Structure 1
Amino acid sequence: MSRPIRLALAAAGLTALAGLASAQAFEPQKAHELRESHMKLMGAHLGVLGAMAKGETDYDAATAGAAAGALAGLADAVGAAGDVYWVEGSSSEQIADSRALPAIWEKMGEFEEHQASLVEATSVMQDAAGTDLAALQGAMGGLGGACGDCHKAFRKPEE
């Protein structure tokens, strides 16, 4: 099975998991664990794109396109995960290794706006990444901004 197909299947699986949100809510610890794993996976794909954008690795259109496609699918799943990932009681106040600030639940509307910005930025990246290096580099600013803006407002800094 090719790498792009595997990445697409992984993103589809996560989207299916997000579909469970309407059926059940997870316990806070499980929600935290799932959310953290999801974010690490997003970071891995972002790392592939960032390394190419910075010239740390050679640009490869197929790899960039696959990473951007997976990232877009993962971003869509974050917003759809609702009751699965964003369970009250799973913030940094209740779970020691959580970096999710209580502000997520206090300002859910604002948080959802950040999620929508992430989905838009990953869509732009998906359109650009497989085109050429300059297009990938041009899309990095918006993507980095979407991630960073949300993290500044809703994620506890590393200690």
Structure 2
Amino acid sequence: MTRLLTAATALSLGLAGAAMAQDHSDQMKARQGQFRILAINLGTLGDMAQGKTEYDAEAAQAAADTLVAVSMIHQPPLWPEGSSTAEMDGTRAKPEIWTDWEGFASKWAGLGEAAGAMQTAAGEGLDAIRPAMGELGGACKACHDSYRAPRN
């Protein structure tokens, strides 16, 4: 009887632990997807700004419009507690995101402001997009410095 009671207790504790552990894979995929979209469009603009590809006003505007659209995604659902580098593999999100949510949200807003500046500049030529790329790079770096772990 004691063994049965011990086994039942262990099983219930194990099930409770499993129920408490949450699967954040969908949220992680979504947030990583938004960063891939940002990277692709930043690459388009960066390549133009660096002269690696020819400036194309229409492509630049489309990339800038996409940056603005991604910056407007409501972030809290993509960042559930328990989805940092401290709790799971496959992410570079530092725990500081959750201990300093206001700071993180401020950095995300900074990205939106820089994306808006690029949206204004994108169709105006290389001389306009080059400084806007600097603003975007600064916004990305500001967040990465505080909230993104280095690659392993």
Same fold (TM over 0.5): yes
Residue 99 of structure 1 and its aligned partner are, at CA, apart by 0.3
Equivalent AA in structure 1 for residue 87 of structure 2? Q
Match of 1:134 among 127, 139, 142: 127
CA RMSD, Structure 1 to Structure 2 (Å):
1.2
Task: Show the 5 A alignment for 1:1-150.
Answer: 27-77=23-73, 80-82=74-76, 84-150=77-143
Structure 2 gaps, min length 5: 1-21
Query: 2:10 corresponds to which residue?
Result: none
**Within 2, Cα distance between the matches of 1:67 and 1:30?**
25
Q: Relative CO higher for 1 or 2, CA cutoff 8 Å, sep ≥ 6? A: 1
Equivalent pair of 1:29/1:95 in contact (CA under 8 Å): no
Residue 51 of structure 1 and its aligned partner are, at CA, apart by 0.4
**Within 1, Cα distance between the matches of 2:69 and 2:33?**
15
Q: What percent identity do the matched residue pairs reach?
A: 39
Structure 1 gaps, min length 5: 1-25
Structure ID, larger Rg: 2
State how many pairs are aligned: 131
The 4+ residue runs of structure 1 with deviation greater than 2 A are none
Residue 136 of structure 1 and its aligned partner are, at CA, apart by 0.5
The CA deviation string for residues 80-125 of structure 1, in whole angstroms up to 9 with x for no partner, is 131x211111111112110000000000011111011011000000
**Taking structure 2 as the reference length, what is the TM-score of the superposition?**
0.83
Residue 27 of structure 1 and its aligned partner are, at CA, apart by 4.2
